Amino acid sequence: MNKIRKPINSVKNKLLQHILLSESLSIDVCLWKHKSSLVCPFSNQNLLFSLLLDLYLQSLSKLAIEPQYQAKLVNDNELYGQTNNKNTIDQLANIISQGFYHLLSINVVSSIKQMEDKLFRSNLQCNHVLNKLIQDWLSLGLIDEYLYQSQSFDKHIADAPKGCIIAPLLLNMFFYQLEHDLSLFDIKNNREKEGIKIIRHGFYFIILSYKNIIAFESLSFVQLWLNRYDIVLEDKSWDVCSAKKGVNFLNYEIVVNISLLLEARIQINPSKQAFILFVQINREEIQSLKSGPIKILIRRLHSRILDWGHYYANYMSIDVASELDKILFFQIRAILLRKHPRKSKNWIKKKYFPDSGHYYFANQFYTSSWIFTDVNLLTKEFLPKIIWLRKNKSYYN
């Protein structure tokens, strides 16, 4: 541990000394050209120091600019800014439950790639030093790096990009004007009972309305608004759909079912794409580890189940969780039968699925006879069921 702390302390002291003695703020251009070489944190201490200083400058710049953006949001009660996935899904489901069944979904990634750097600085009110810093970051590819990291798949699409602290704020400030003008356009048409609701999460605009024609009118307004800045909204970047047929958003599927008494019931589950991807990756993991120790397979699948289960825990029906557990069981059973071709199914059942086993998981005790377990270990490692992670706190399902 001492060997690790020494380089950290030296970089920390170096950073503080540089901040105290600096008379002007500037960006290390060399860092932005060699960011990909920072594979190991201690492989190049000079680049690591430059990276920490760059992140520090971005944090200070964000603190200086952010009050301008937050002050505007306070006056707009109908705008829902960028939040985490759970809050966004809650807001979307709440609005749909009010009768806003028609959705216009717009992905602005392709539009951002067409934007000039000066557009991101058009709404900023800051001194020349801060303005020069932001101009340098933009010219070095701050937005491009943010777009690349945002669309990369690691654990979830919700993972925040690293190294581009100020990029989301610049995008929020630019697209806030679009949200504000769109809400004024709605008020100007005197649509008190047939208005729209706007939600933006990351690069997605969701415009909800009572009627399908209002969604297309909003689309025309967005296209004209972007054309003012020589930005073209591609046809594949938008979609108009009905919540009654199902809406896919942030890897969730939201469906509104209307009962015979005309009562709307909203169901939220993981999307079909997320379901299929989870099953497919599990199959690949099992195939790659089928000849290794059972404890390694259990640990790998255990990690995947925790990640996926916690992400969808608040919005997952019993049917979906049970189906995933069933598929995972058949995948594991298939490799166990091939691993022990001369053993009977009863022998495999007793070895890997103990009868009436007792398990402690997530502060609860469970008793089951079909839990994949490595009984050879003193710690008795086991694979929890996905249904154990389900939280029944959502009032939508």
Is residue 397's pLDDT more than 50?
no
* pLDDT the model gives residue 1: 47
* pLDDT the model gives residue 338: 92
Residue that has been written with the tokens 């000079």 in this structure: 46
Is pLDDT larger for residue 386 or for residue 90?
Answer: 386
| Separation CA 353–CA 212 (nearest Å) | 53
| Separation CA 197–CA 201 (nearest Å) | 13
For the full predicted model, state whether its pTM sits above 0.85: no
* pLDDT the model gives residue 154: 45
Query: Mean pLDDT of all residues in the chain?
Result: 78
The two three-digit tokens of residue 289, written as one number: 């580890």
Q: Please, which residues bridge with residue 200 across strands?
A: 205
Q: What is the DSSP letter of 18?
A: H
Q: What is the pLDDT averaged over residues 71-76? A: 56
| Separation CA 102–CA 241 (nearest Å) | 6
Confidence band of 17 (pLDDT split at 50, 70, 90): low
| Separation CA 289–CA 362 (nearest Å) | 26
The two three-digit tokens of residue 30, written as one number: 């060399």
| Separation CA 238–CA 246 (nearest Å) | 16
Confidence band of 283 (pLDDT split at 50, 70, 90): very high
* pLDDT the model gives residue 392: 58
* Helix ranges restricted to H, the chain: 2-21, 29-33, 45-74, 85-97, 109-113, 117-120, 128-139, 142-150, 167-188, 212-227, 272-288, 294-311, 318-339, 345-352
Please state the φ and ψ torsions of residue 91, each to the nearest 5 degrees: -65, -45
| Separation CA 245–CA 93 (nearest Å) | 14
Q: What is the pLDDT averaged over residues 384-389? A: 92
The two three-digit tokens of residue 118, written as one number: 């000066």
- Angle at which helices 142-150 and 167-188 pack, to 10 degrees? 80
| Separation CA 397–CA 388 (nearest Å) | 17
Q: What is the pLDDT averaged over residues 225-243? A: 88
- Of 366, 386, 391, which is closest to residue 302 (Cα–Cα)? 386
| Sheet with strand 252-258: strands edge to edge | 247-249, 252-258, 264-270
Q: What is the DSSP letter of 389?
A: G
* pLDDT the model gives residue 391: 73
Q: What is the pLDDT averaged over residues 42-51? A: 68
